[in-house]
Structure 1
Amino acid sequence: MTQSPRTAINNVTYLFLRRMRVPLVLVIMLYTVSVFGLAVMPGVDDAGNATEGMGLFNAFYVISYTATTIGFGELPHPYSTAQRLWMALSIYLTVTGWSYAVVTVVGLLQEPAFQNALRHGRYARRIRNLKEPFYIVCGVGETGTLVCHGLDRLGLRFVVIDSDASRIEQIKLENFYSDPPSVMADASQPATLTGAGLLSPHCRGVMALAVDDATNRAIAVTVRLLRPGLAVMARVGDADTDHSRGAFGGDMVTNPFERFATYLALAVARPERYRMGQILTGFPGDDLPEPHHPPRGHWIMCGYGRFGHGIRDALTKAGNEVTVIDKLHYGEKGVDIEGTGTDSASLINAGIEHSVGIVAGNASDLKNLAIALVARDLKPDIFIVTRQNQVSNATLFEAFQDDLCMQPSRIVAREFLALITTPLLARFRFEIRGASEKWSADLTDALSMVNDGYVPEVWGVTINDEQAAAVTDAIRHEHWVNIGHLLVDPYDASRPANALVLMVARGDGGEILPTTGYQLEIGDQLLIAGSREAANRLRLTLNNPNVLFYVRTGRERGGGWVWHQMREGKRWWIRKRNRHND
């Protein structure tokens, strides 16, 4: 369990003082006796005459350098026999005392409790020093690790909590731009979340990605009670969990098995809309997803756990016939064939000769690959869907080359990161839920072009003084600004920017794929897709009055010598690149 920064520091101090109490008292007593004894011990002068003791200050000075074995000699006069005897005794006493103290300190540093207190102290200081927006990631298995990498690529800070020490050690070895604060603790405990910065004004959300639903539910309850209104993104595996109320009410909850079942049904019924959704929620910079066209007809489902239930229901609702193969759940309603699917007999009994597709959906990657291999041998042209549970097995799945691969961890990571990047994306996807296949295909083509053939970035912009100061100032002075102005390269007004405005939200209404002439108003929210370079250039247009004037009118205005040189240099580079491409 983590503590608050003050508690963590107090624990370190308490452990140190408790263990060092006896050694410190002993050292203080020995030094005190040695100093007072030497101060009153009679000495001799240069002529050999007896003198009074050297006094407290001189005695303190002599004991200080002698007891530490530095040894400057007998100063300021040669010592008397009594002084030398006392010095010899003092040396043995004080050296023994501080040696005992050093040994005790070394033992204390090796104690697990003290090391743990030091780690918590460093962790607490790092949390206290976080002065920028951050997220708390609870659970860093495969899903949590993907989420952390996504946050890191977006330039967002995060704090890691996991009860498994090996996962904490592994996350420290990941290649992040900034080393995230991490702690081994139970995230279901309120003190753990508060110690991770839950109450900090810079905390923007909590991601509950623990293995069991009970922990994720406890995290959601803690956040709702201690930080009402703070975003909670949770992964659940129980299909019967009510996500709309209670602990998860109002939060972003993803069941990876149900979500993929929905995706598969969508890919069968509306493949273009499915691919469009994959691009919108994909990791920016990744290769564009390949088009998938799962056929309609008879399907075989191998495995009838949570994943199998969702797939069967989704395919059946989409108008397909499904035969289920399972050995463990045979005899339950919905299971047709007893077997595993790794043998040809069970697949033949399931009717593979007239099937159009098969889903290998067990919890074992090797078992799923074995099913897929047998199915391809029996019917080479069958559409194969596999479930990949471990990221480490990616090489095997790539070698097999299935038609569609389901990765639960990647599904959850993509959903959460898309929500973090821009909450407006969820509203856009809701608005286009009834889009036709042709409309979806056209938008997919447009999205494929704005980032040179890679998954584009999707971000939101609000027309206000914080995010678009130049635009709001122009609107207040009755200088109209439209969508077309934002889609112009600020370095060359004759070239379009690599960006696409997907939606403008205005109050409860808005416009999907607005035209270039759509005039903006203060308070509008824009959902934009494009390259990272386009995002940086758009930020310049939104906030620099001279750049906005240039894209609106095509004429340059002011800006100074530096801005002029930058613009001319950029134009020269663009012309050179175009000549090279030609």
Structure 2
Amino acid sequence: MNAIICLIMRRMRIPLLVLLMVYTIAIVGMTFMPGVDSQGNPWRMNFFEAHYFVSYMGTTIGFGELPYPFSNTQRMWVILSMYMTVVAWIYAIGVLLALVQDEALRRAIVESRFTRAVSNIHEPFYLICGYGDTGRALVSALEKRLMRTVVIEMKPERIDVLILENYPVYVPKLGADASQPNHLVEGGLKNPHCAGVVAVTDDNLVNLHIAISTKLLRPELTVIARVDSHDVAANMDSFGTDFIINPFVIFASKLHTALHSPELLLLRDCLSGYKTSCQPLNPPQSGLWVLCGYGRFGKAVYERLKEKKELRLVVIEAVLEKTGFPPAPYVAGRGTEADTLQQAHIEDAVGLIAGTDDDVNNLSIVMTARELNPNLFVVIRQNRADNKIIFEAAKADITMQPSQIIANHIRVLLTTPKLVDFLRLTKLRGNKWTRQLVTRLKTALNSTPPSIWQMTIDKDSTPALWEALKDKLINLKCLQMDPRDRRKKLACIPLLLIRGEEEIQLPEETECLRQGDQVLWCGKHGVASWMEWTLRDPLVLTYLSTGHILPRSYVWRWLQNKNMTVTRLPNS
């Protein structure tokens, strides 16, 4: 606000001085102009009368000649004063209109409104730097869970897209360079309610600057940064960035898991909400795979696939001089031509990975390859989210969209971080145990898409349970009861119980809870709301744990206790 006032005063200084000078000359001159009163006696205006007249004359209101008709000398001075004030006002208004259109002032006003909106947030929020495909998907996912976000994006057209979005909660937004620390501070970096910073811009260096600035200004904050360069990732790691997200590495790991443990991949995708169908992929476990594109994505995929000895790889790359020559057999070309694919023995291949940085080329590779070998397992890379419709029409077995992968991965880290721990423990269990868990989830949830939430037993989020655990034991079975009818069971399963350093996977219903426990739940959509009722309402919790329905009114409770006393008297 101080910057806005200083800018206005600096630009309007000369016009205001001109107006002040013109009005001073007109007022002082009017006091010297001779006139006559109603009786013909000599008369001159005093300073107040002159100031009053010039004030309404300068605004062209024109109340007339007051208090007496003017002499010709006074009228000549009035004419001169009118032209002086009109010209001064035209000049001042012209400068004011130019000031309103000044980009610096408009930017200062926008930043002031943005800073004020962020300072009025009194609940946890995340500062999202970058509103491209990744940022848009992430903000949308968080807003669906009613989690507050603040966005800083440098490109104006992306800010326009954000303005048109109909999110359930208002999202403060600022069009600025997030790599500048002052913009991060304006975005709430030093706000005590800021829960973390997410850097998902298109520039690795900008993300690096955001991560460094955040760790220097607020070391305790969680920082998540997108990066696709190993050197920049190493630099981020040296400054203590909490999570470094490389979409190519994540997808390569996903593809590797699909080949080694498809049940684990199915479980991970379903629980994280990445897939709604939850159908197994079953990719070929052996044979020839053709990899088109040996850039950053291709190299990440190649490094993971080469670990499986049953697979043979052939790489197709158009600019080997820039990407480097792969250690596997390769063919020079784009892969969109039939002869290039035939040189890679596409007729004998079991899988195809179209992983170039051009969506049109990837689609062309898939269509050409399917004409030569219709039985291919197809993995395709989608670079732009706008091309979703045509990629769905391609009907690939796996579609890799970097922005969606990053957004989904970050959403899990921000909303249900314990799911990462659960999947880590599941990986150690083996395929058979994972397969049994998938079957159990399908049975419990009736093959509907699962909803994941986590619970921490504390005074704020679970006040009823927190108080109840001081006096009695409550187990997981109690929380799984339907608060509307304790004879029925909510469609949910506890996946993980964390008690200090102890991690209990798939805890039993008889497991008694303690204050400070953290529980990761999986259930049908809407079950979390019913459970939250139990966790916050002591009367509901009493009903589920004991079967007694207590009246909510103190009067009814007193009457109930009195009736119970009267009932016991004959037996005494």
CA distance 1:75–1:449, change in 2 (3 Å)? farther
Alignment RMSD (CA, Å): 2.5
Question: Does 1 or 2 have the higher relative contact order (CA < 8 Å, sep 6+)?
Answer: 1
Among candidates 391, 399, 422, match of residue 397 of structure 1: 391
Among candidates 217, 224, 227, match of residue 236 of structure 1: 227
**Partner of residue 167, structure 1:** 158
Among candidates 112, 118, 136, match of residue 145 of structure 1: 136
**Partner of residue 414, structure 1:** 408
Amino acid at match of 1:185: A
Among candidates 279, 282, 285, match of residue 290 of structure 1: 279
CA distance 1:99–1:194, change in 2 (3 Å)? same
Note the C-alpha offset of 1:413: 0.4
Amino acid at match of 1:20: M
User: Following the alignment from structure 1 to structure 2, what is the Cα–Cα distance between the partners of residues 118 and 17?
Assistant: 14
**Partner of residue 273, structure 1:** 264
SS in 1 for 2:427: coil
Map 1:62-77 onto structure 2 (within 5 A). Answer: 62-77=53-68
Among candidates 520, 526, 540, match of residue 533 of structure 2: 540
Q: Does 1:10 align with 2:2?
A: yes
Cα deviation per residue 1:291-334 (whole Å; 9 max; x = unaligned)?
21101112111111111112122122133222222231274433
CA distance 1:63–1:456, change in 2 (3 Å)? farther
User: Which TM-score applies when normalising by structure 2?
Assistant: 0.90
Which runs of no fewer than 5 residues in structure 1 stay unpaired? 1-8, 565-582
Note the C-alpha offset of 1:280: 2.0
Among candidates 347, 351, 355, match of residue 357 of structure 1: 351
User: Following the alignment from structure 2 to structure 1, what is the Cα–Cα distance between the partners of residues 508 and 127?
Assistant: 39
- Taking every aligned residue pair, what percent have the same amino acid on both sides? 38
Among candidates 360, 363, 373, match of residue 379 of structure 1: 373
CA distance 1:76–1:243, change in 2 (3 Å)? same
User: Following the alignment from structure 1 to structure 2, what is the Cα–Cα distance between the partners of residues 547 and 61?
Assistant: 74
User: Following the alignment from structure 2 to structure 1, what is the Cα–Cα distance between the partners of residues 386 and 420?
Assistant: 31
**Partner of residue 517, structure 1:** 510
Confirm or deny: 8 A CA contact 2:476 2:509 kept in the other structure: yes
Cα deviation per residue 1:37-96 (whole Å; 9 max; x = unaligned)?
334544433333333x33222322222222111112223333333333332222222122
**Partner of residue 552, structure 2:** 559
**Partner of residue 317, structure 2:** 326
Note the C-alpha offset of 1:115: 2.4
CA distance 1:436–1:25, change in 2 (3 Å)? same
User: Following the alignment from structure 1 to structure 2, what is the Cα–Cα distance between the partners of residues 442 and 527?
Assistant: 19
Cα deviation per residue 1:366-394 (whole Å; 9 max; x = unaligned)?
11111111221112112111111111111
User: Following the alignment from structure 1 to structure 2, what is the Cα–Cα distance between the partners of residues 194 and 453?
Assistant: 46
Note the C-alpha offset of 1:454: 5.1
Q: Does 1:111 align with 2:102?
A: yes
Cα deviation per residue 1:437-491 (whole Å; 9 max; x = unaligned)?
34323433454577775543322211111111111111112x2111111112212
SS in 1 for 2:429: coil
**Partner of residue 299, structure 2:** 309
User: Following the alignment from structure 2 to structure 1, what is the Cα–Cα distance between the partners of residues 340 and 383?
Assistant: 23
Q: Does 1:187 align with 2:178?
A: yes
SS in 2 for 1:356: strand
Note the C-alpha offset of 1:500: 2.3
User: Following the alignment from structure 2 to structure 1, what is the Cα–Cα distance between the partners of residues 547 and 497?
Assistant: 25
Confirm or deny: 8 A CA contact 1:239 1:258 kept in the other structure: no
CA distance 1:290–1:413, change in 2 (3 Å)? same
CA distance 1:401–1:253, change in 2 (3 Å)? same
Amino acid at match of 2:301: I
Q: Does 1:87 align with 2:78?
A: yes
Map 1:325-344 onto structure 2 (within 5 A). Answer: 325-329=316-320, 331-344=325-338
SS in 1 for 2:341: helix
Confirm or deny: 8 A CA contact 2:199 2:226 kept in the other structure: yes
Note the C-alpha offset of 1:242: 5.2
Amino acid at match of 1:315: L
SS in 2 for 1:373: helix
CA distance 1:34–1:476, change in 2 (3 Å)? same
Amino acid at match of 2:283: P
User: Following the alignment from structure 1 to structure 2, what is the Cα–Cα distance between the partners of residues 394 and 121?
Assistant: 37
Amino acid at match of 1:432: T
User: Following the alignment from structure 2 to structure 1, what is the Cα–Cα distance between the partners of residues 232 and 501?
Assistant: 30
User: Following the alignment from structure 1 to structure 2, what is the Cα–Cα distance between the partners of residues 376 and 22?
Assistant: 74
Map 1:100-139 onto structure 2 (within 5 A). Answer: 100-139=91-130
User: Following the alignment from structure 1 to structure 2, what is the Cα–Cα distance between the partners of residues 205 and 417?
Assistant: 12
**Partner of residue 499, structure 1:** 492
Q: How many residues align?
A: 552
**Partner of residue 199, structure 1:** 190
User: Following the alignment from structure 2 to structure 1, what is the Cα–Cα distance between the partners of residues 364 and 271?
Assistant: 33
Confirm or deny: 8 A CA contact 1:243 1:249 kept in the other structure: no
**Partner of residue 178, structure 1:** 169
54-63 or 38-47, which deviates more:
38-47
SS in 1 for 2:45: coil
User: Following the alignment from structure 2 to structure 1, what is the Cα–Cα distance between the partners of residues 497 and 368?
Assistant: 50
CA distance 1:207–1:350, change in 2 (3 Å)? same
320-329 or 462-471, which deviates more:
320-329
User: Following the alignment from structure 2 to structure 1, what is the Cα–Cα distance between the partners of residues 358 and 67?
Assistant: 83
Which runs of no fewer than 5 residues in structure 2 stay unpaired? 558-572
**Partner of residue 37, structure 2:** 45
